[in-house]
Amino acid sequence: MLDSGQNELTKETLSAVLKEQAETFKARERGVQREVLGGLKEIVRSPQIMVITGLRRVGKSTLLAQIADKYFKEGFHFVNFEDERFLNFRVNDFDLLHEILISLFGEKKTFLLDEVQNVLGWERFVRRLHDEGYKFVVTGSNASLLSQELGTRLTGRSIRIELFPFSFQEFLLFKKEKAPELRALTTTQRGRLLKLVNEYLLYGGIPDALKYPELDIHKTLYDDVLYRDVANRYKLESMKSLKELALYLVSNTSSLISFNKLKEILKLGSVNTIRSYVDYLENSWLFFVINKYAYSVKEQQIAAKKIYNIDTGLVRSVGFSFSDNEGKLMENAVFLQLKRKHQDIYYYKTDRNYEVDFFLPKERSLIQVSKHFAVHDLDNRETRALLAAAKEQRGPSELQVITQRDKFEIDREGSKIKVTPLYEWLLKS
Tell me the CA distances in angstroms from 317 to 241, 310, 312, 327, 334, one per residue in order.
Answer: 21, 13, 9, 16, 19
pLDDT, mean of residues 232-236: 86
Q: Above 80 in pLDDT, residue 324?
A: no
Give the pLDDT score at 152.
65
Q: Which pLDDT band, with edges at 50, 70 and 90, does 74 fall under?
A: confident
Q: Above 70 in pLDDT, residue 322?
A: no
Cβ density class 129-164: b for 16+ within 10 Å, e for less: bbeeebbbbbbbbbbbbbeeebeebbeebbeebbbb
Give the pLDDT score at 375.
63
pLDDT tens-place string over residues 330-369: 999 999 999 999 999 999 999 999 999 999 999 999 999 9
Between 155 and 297, residue with greater pLDDT: 297
Give the pLDDT score at 5.
44
pLDDT, mean of residues 216-233: 92
Give the pLDDT score at 204.
97
* Distance between CA atoms of residues 423 and 196, nearest Å: 9
- Alpha helix ranges (H) inside 81-186: 94-105, 122-131, 147-153, 168-174
Q: Which pLDDT band, with edges at 50, 70 and 90, does 169 fall under?
A: very high
Q: Above 70 in pLDDT, residue 251?
A: yes
> For residue 248, how many other CB atoms are within 10 A of its CB?
18
Q: Above 80 in pLDDT, residue 323?
A: no
Q: Which pLDDT band, with edges at 50, 70 and 90, does 172 fall under?
A: very high
pLDDT, mean of residues 98-125: 94
pLDDT tens-place string over residues 402-423: 999 989 998 888 889 999 999 9
Give the pLDDT score at 200.
98
* Distance between CA atoms of residues 154 and 394, nearest Å: 42
**Is the backbone of residue 155 left (phi > 0), alpha (psi -120 to 50) or beta?**
left
CA proximity to 312, closest of 290, 288, 300, 328:
328
The full set of domains in the chain, from first to last, is 11-162 (3.40.50.300), 211-428 (1.10.10.10)
Give the pLDDT score at 144.
60
Give the pLDDT score at 9.
75
Q: Please count the helices (runs of H) and the strands (runs of E) in the chain.
A: 18, 14
CA proximity to 402, closest of 248, 202, 254:
254
Give the pLDDT score at 6.
44
Mean pLDDT rounded to a whole number for the chain: 91
SS3 label, residue 347:
strand
Give the pLDDT score at 29.
92
Length of the chain: 429
Give the pLDDT score at 81.
95
Give the pLDDT score at 414.
81
Q: Which pLDDT band, with edges at 50, 70 and 90, does 379 fall under?
A: low
Tell me the CA distances in angstroms from 260 to 39, 166, 263, 271, one per residue in order.
Answer: 42, 34, 5, 6
Give the pLDDT score at 151.
57
